[in-house]
């Protein structure tokens, strides 16, 4: 089979984005998942494009994916997010660390249009993810899950869930954190016993994407659905979290794409809008703002592309953690500023719903929070620069100062 070129993927995305732009406000206002767009993305082969050919995908590179994501994000943040999660994060963890059976099970679900959900965060374990309380107790030939997760993107629409839990062996000892796969169809009310979608958050932006609280009570998982990297549970969480580096590059790209879209709107409006008898494009104050916006988007794109093409240490299949962390924090913080400046250029019109700026402004805000906050990622960068493992616990800091 001939490999699609990056330009080809990009032009498919650009073409689809025209209709996505016209529907973006609908999903936002109605708080509705973009099923119609998902059908078109599926038909165009963009859902699961990164899945290897042997499992029915296109073996597209992460770089190919980010070029698609940028085009989609200019038009509809929600749709771009669906594509990131159908190619990076949860699905890429399964494709890299899952068994053949798990890969053969997960790939067709995504290729048919699913955006898998990754379930890590809990009410008492956000940035401190390893302090999660959800347990997976070893019973017979499987595990029983009990616990709660919140802010799970896609909870209620996704058909594939990768749930992280503390593994407890038959002796009652903690073995580390493992990943557990659940297949279901919540839209049709088809959920396994012990798996409940409790509620949905009311969010500031990206309103068409459900962010759900999930509860597990005696949820039975067979051994064959446990994603266990070769390192075992003790060190396996770190390996599984490696996959998150691709998701971070994807998230940064969505933010950059939204900013690039806002920049286009701002250019158009500067030439269109007249005040004091001339186009506002003639005011140097706005020209310099525009130049800074463009520079920020351009620098973000370069960093994200570099990260997307990179590979982490130890033969990792995923982008380099440092490059991903740097690119995500820079691109997301820059995008929030760029979109805010673009809205400013529209004056009152930018604040209203006639233009897409107010939606883009709300949408872009989440990207310094979800998928590792800016503070946590900067800590990761600083740890690398200083050559220390920056401890996050109170005891850890005491140990560091005693060192």
Chain residues in the site for ligand FAD (CB under 6 A): 117-121, 126-127, 151-153, 211, 366, 369-371, 373, 375-376, 379, 392
Nearest alpha carbon to residue 21 among 238, 346, 338, 257: 257
Q: Choose between 149 and 305: whose C-beta lies nearer to ligand FAD.
A: 149
Q: Choose between 93 and 119: whose C-beta lies nearer to ligand FAD.
A: 119
Q: Choose between 353 and 375: whose C-beta lies nearer to ligand FAD.
A: 375
CB of 360 to ligand FAD, least distance (A): 15
Three-state SS string over the chain comes to CCCCCHHHHHHHHHHHHHHHHHHHHHHHHHCCCCHHHHHHHHHCCCCCCCCCHHHCCCCCCHHHHHHHHHHHHHHCHHHHHHHHHCCCCHHHHHHHHCCHHHHHHHHHHHHCCCCCEEECCECCECCCHHHCCCEEEEECCEEEEEEEEEEEECCCCCCEEEEEEEEECCCCCEEEEEEEEEECEHHHCECCCCEEEEEECCCCCCCCCCEEEEEEEEEEEEHHHEECCCCHHHHHHHHHHHCHHHHHHHHHHHHHHHHHHHHHHHHHHHHHCEECCEEHHHCHHHHHHHHHHHHHHHHHHHHHHHHHHCCCCCCCCCCCHHHHHHHHHHHHHHHHHHHHHHHHHCCHHHHCCCCCHHHHHHHHHHHHCCCCCHHHHHHHHHHHHHCCCCCCCHHHHHHHHHC
The rounded distance, in Å, linking the Cα atoms of 205 and 202 is: 9
The rounded distance, in Å, linking the Cα atoms of 358 and 402 is: 49
Q: Choose between 376 and 381: whose C-beta lies nearer to ligand FAD.
A: 376
CB of 391 to ligand FAD, least distance (A): 9
In the complex, residue closest to ligand FAD by CB: 126
Strand 211-222 to strand 278-279: parallel, antiparallel, or no bridges (unpaired)?
Answer: unpaired
Q: Choose between 281 and 321: whose C-beta lies nearer to ligand FAD.
A: 321
Q: Which two tokens stand for residue 85?
A: 């999660």
Length of the chain: 403
Q: Choose between 304 and 366: whose C-beta lies nearer to ligand FAD.
A: 366
CB of 140 to ligand FAD, least distance (A): 28
CB of 204 to ligand FAD, least distance (A): 9
CB of 271 to ligand FAD, least distance (A): 35
Q: Choose between 30 and 375: whose C-beta lies nearer to ligand FAD.
A: 375
CB of 379 to ligand FAD, least distance (A): 5
Q: Choose between 16 and 118: whose C-beta lies nearer to ligand FAD.
A: 118
The rounded distance, in Å, linking the Cα atoms of 53 and 50 is: 9
CB of 254 to ligand FAD, least distance (A): 11
Q: Choose between 121 and 300: whose C-beta lies nearer to ligand FAD.
A: 121
CB of 60 to ligand FAD, least distance (A): 22
CB of 89 to ligand FAD, least distance (A): 8
């Amino acid at each position: 089979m001939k490999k699609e070129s990056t330009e080809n993927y990009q032009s498919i995305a650009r073409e689809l984005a025209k209709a996505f732009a016209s529907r973006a406000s609908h999903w936002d206002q109605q708080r509705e998942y973009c099923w119609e767009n998902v059908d078109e993305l599926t038909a165009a082969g963009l859902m699961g494009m990164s899945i290897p050919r042997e499992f029915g995908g296109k073996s597209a590179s992460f770089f190919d994916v980010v070029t698609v994501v940028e085009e989609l994000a200019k038009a509809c943040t929600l749709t771009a997010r669906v594509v990131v999660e159908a190619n990076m994060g949860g699905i890429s963890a399964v494709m890299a660390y899952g068994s053949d059976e798990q890969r053969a099970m997960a790939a067709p679900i995504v290729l048919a249009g699913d955006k898998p959900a990754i379930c890590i965060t809990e009410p008492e374990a956000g940035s401190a993810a390893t302090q999660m309380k959800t347990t997976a107790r070893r019973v017979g030939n499987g595990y029983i899950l009990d616990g709660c997760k919140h802010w799970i993107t896609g909870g209620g629409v996704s058909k594939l869930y990768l749930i992280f839990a503390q593994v407890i062996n038959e002796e009652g000892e903690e073995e580390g954190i493992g990943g557990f796969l659940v297949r279901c169809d919540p839209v049709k009310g088809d959920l396994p016993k012990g798996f409940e979608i409790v509620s949905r958050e009311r969010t500031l932006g990206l309103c068409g994407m459900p962010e759900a609280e999930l509860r597990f009570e005696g949820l039975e998982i067979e051994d064959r659905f446990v994603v266990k990297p070769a390192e075992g549970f003790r060190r396996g969480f770190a390996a599984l979290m490696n996959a998150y580096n691709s998701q971070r590059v994807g998230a940064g790209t969505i933010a950059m794409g939204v900013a690039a879209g806002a920049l286009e709107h701002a250019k158009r409006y500067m030439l269109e809008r007249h005040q004091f008898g001339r186009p506002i494009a003639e005011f140097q104050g706005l020209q310099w703002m525009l130049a800074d916006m463009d520079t920020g988007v351009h620098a973000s794109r370069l960093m994200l592309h570099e990260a997307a093409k990179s590979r982490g240490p130890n033969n990792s299949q995923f982008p380099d953690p440092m490059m991903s962390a740097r690119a995500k924090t820079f691109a997301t913080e820059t995008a929030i500023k760029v979109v805010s400046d673009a809205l400013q250029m529209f004056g009152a019109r930018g604040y209203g719903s006639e233009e897409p700026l107010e939606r883009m402004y709300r949408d872009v805000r989440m990207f310094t929070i979800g998928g590792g906050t800016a503070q946590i990622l900067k800590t990761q960068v600083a740890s690398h620069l200083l050559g220390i493992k920056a401890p996050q616990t109170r005891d850890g800091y005491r140990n560091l100062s005693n060192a």
